Amino acid sequence: MLTTNISTNVIIGMALVEILNGELTNQTIAAVGSINYREVPPPLNHLVGYIQGMNTDPAMRPSQITSLMAEIATIGEWLMSWANEVHDISRIIGIALFVELSAVVTEGEQSNGTTESIWTPRETARLASQASQIMS
């Protein structure tokens, strides 16, 4: 798993805020340009690569910001899809663990189990002696 350093996260955060506010400054574009996009985990690496490869002409900036907003929306959809998959998998694992762990004795049951196991042979022996009395 790729991890990013704090300065990279700050730069990406600044870029996201500026894009969502409908602006993208030359300073932020230059800061994003200093990031190695291969070190940024998906899906943000695509956004960083997009900013690094875009035309920096100020006349093009509004249409590029619109495209970047669409890219952020796509990233949001991807993350929601991923979160739903994780939720579904966690539900399946939870059910499997419930089934597997239902046979495991809990701490409270162990103390009762020990008490019961002490008395169970006596009851069994008593039952056996009663059975022999009935038979005779």
Q: Are residues 14 and 77 in the same domain?
A: yes
Looking at residue 36, its pLDDT comes to: 92
The reply to whether 57 and 122 lie within a common domain is no
- The pLDDT of residue 90: 79
Are both 58 and 116 inside the same structural domain?
A: no
- Please compute the mean of the pLDDT values over residues 94-100 and round it to a whole number: 69
CA 82/CA 76 separation, integer angstroms: 10
Does residue 27 sit in the same domain as residue 83?
Answer: yes
Kindly tell me if the per-residue pLDDT of 35 is higher than 70: yes
Q: What is the pLDDT of residue 101?
A: 61
State the pTM of this model: 0.57
Amino acid at 85: E
Residues 83 and 131 in one domain: no
* pLDDT for residue 131 is more than 70: no
pLDDT over threshold 90, residue 85: no
116-127: per-residue pLDDT in tens?
555 455 444 444
**56: which residues sit within 8 A by CB, 6+ positions away?**
26, 29
- Residue 76's domain comprises 6-90
What is the predicted pLDDT for the residue at 1?
A: 43
